Amino acid sequence: MDNNEVSDVFVSALADPDILSARLNVLDTGAKILGELGSHAFVQGLLVSDKKISAFSILSRLAADITVGFATLMRSGNEYSAAALLRQLVEFEYLFFVAYQDKSELGKWLGADGDTLRKQFTPQKMRKKSNGIFSDQEYWMHCDMGGHPNPKARAFLAGESNNMMMAAFLLPDGVHHFRRLWTSFKLLYPVLLEDNKSQLEKLSLVTDAIETWKTKEHPLILSFDGMQHTRAKS
């Protein structure tokens, strides 16, 4: 399948109401549950004076806000602003993965001063901790399209030749990144808050939304795991 055929798949999927609804449902449901579980963790962190749980609560609620913002901007057709929030969501994805690998990182993050955050919790440092799971090129692409002002981001502007393709790619890319974030979140949550069975049941709501999306999404789009994959083929 050549680049034009790939583009056609993404653009056609964007116009499919069932696929669009499934994508947005992942983000809407995910943000809601992240926020609820994060708020519950906040209370638990205070009760047991656990910095790891408190940090987890902060990260969860911030990630929920970012996810809501991204979905809202995509609904309004403001793709460039949405791309900026997606880049930030990627950094939350990194943080949750690092915390899943070693939950003590949560306490370190919470207690870190500005200098320590810049030395130990930069995107580059966190990618290195992933042992190759996260790609430099993928993150750099997100920076190009939604970070510091970059001429490449003009692709999101109306009238640009590849505007439709970028808009069609951004939403499923966001769902992919949220899915990756959620994988670390759902594995980490029971480790930190294993006794909260009523809250643990909420995890399945997001997992179900993701599985429903997978059944409706185009198989080709499911195989694309981030901007890096698309750019590597162009």
Condensed to tens digits (0 to 9), the pLDDT of residues 26-46 reads 999 999 999 999 999 998 888
DSSP structure string for the chain: --HHHHHHHHHHHHT-HHHHHHHHHHHHHHHHHHHHHHHHHHHHHHHHT-HHHHHHHHHHHHHHHHHHHHHHHHHHT-HHHHHHHHHHHHHHHHHHHHHHH-THHHHHHHH--HHHHHHHSSHHHHHHHTTTSS-HHHHHHHHHHHSS--GGGGGGSTT-TTHHHHHHHHHHHHHHHHHHHHHHHHHHHHHHSTT-HHHHTTHHHHHHHHHHHHHHS-HHHHH--SHHHHHHT-
What's the CA gap between 102 and 86, in Å, rounded?
24
Residue 16 has pLDDT above 90, yes or no: yes
What's the CA gap between 106 and 28, in Å, rounded?
26
Read off the amino acid at residue 230. T
What's the CA gap between 82 and 80, in Å, rounded?
5
Report pTM. Answer: 0.91
The domain ranges of the chain are: 3-232
Residue position matching structure tokens 């449902």: 25
Condensed to tens digits (0 to 9), the pLDDT of residues 90-148 reads 999 999 999 999 999 999 999 999 999 998 899 998 998 888 788 888 999 999 999 88
Task: Report the share of the chain in percent with pLDDT over 70.
Answer: 95
What's the CA gap between 44 and 53, in Å, rounded?
7
